[in-house]
């Protein structure tokens, strides 16, 4: 429930701030639900930071998200 709320408010923020950042919404969707999957799979035995750093698809999504943000925010 909280992931869905975060996604809705992130989307509203992005749309109202900079329309170019709309391209980051699918990456955020993937990242939120991949993080949720990884943490649930671990069963709470590992810290959330270690979960992010040890999961390659999630780490790649974060790097791509940062790259898209930088590209979208560069002056035209």
Asked if residues 64 and 15 have their Cβ atoms less than 8 Å apart, the reply is no
pLDDT of residue 44: 65
Q: How far apart are CA 33 and CA 44, in angstroms?
A: 16
Entry pTM: 0.83
pLDDT digits (tens, 9 = 90+) for 5-54: 999 999 999 999 988 999 999 999 999 989 888 888 877 677 778 877 88
Q: Which residue has the higher pLDDT, 2 or 8?
A: 8
pLDDT of residue 35: 87
With a cut of 90, say whether residue 62 has pLDDT above it: yes
Asked if residues 15 and 33 have their Cβ atoms less than 8 Å apart, the reply is no
Number of domains in the chain: 1
Domain that holds residue 44: 2-73
* Residue 60 CA: distances (Å) to CA of 25, 42, 43: 15, 19, 23
Q: How far apart are CA 48 and CA 41, in angstroms?
A: 12
Q: How far apart are CA 36 and CA 30, in angstroms?
A: 10
């Amino acid at each position: 429930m909280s992931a869905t709320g975060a996604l809705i408010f992130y989307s509203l923020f992005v749309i109202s701030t900079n329309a170019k950042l709309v391209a980051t919404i699918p990456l955020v969707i993937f990242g939120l639900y991949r993080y949720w999957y990884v943490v649930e799979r671990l069963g709470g035995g590992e810290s959330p930071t270690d979960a992010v750093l040890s999961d390659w698809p999630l780490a790649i999504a974060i790097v791509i998200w940062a790259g898209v943000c930088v590209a979208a925010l560069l002056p035209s």
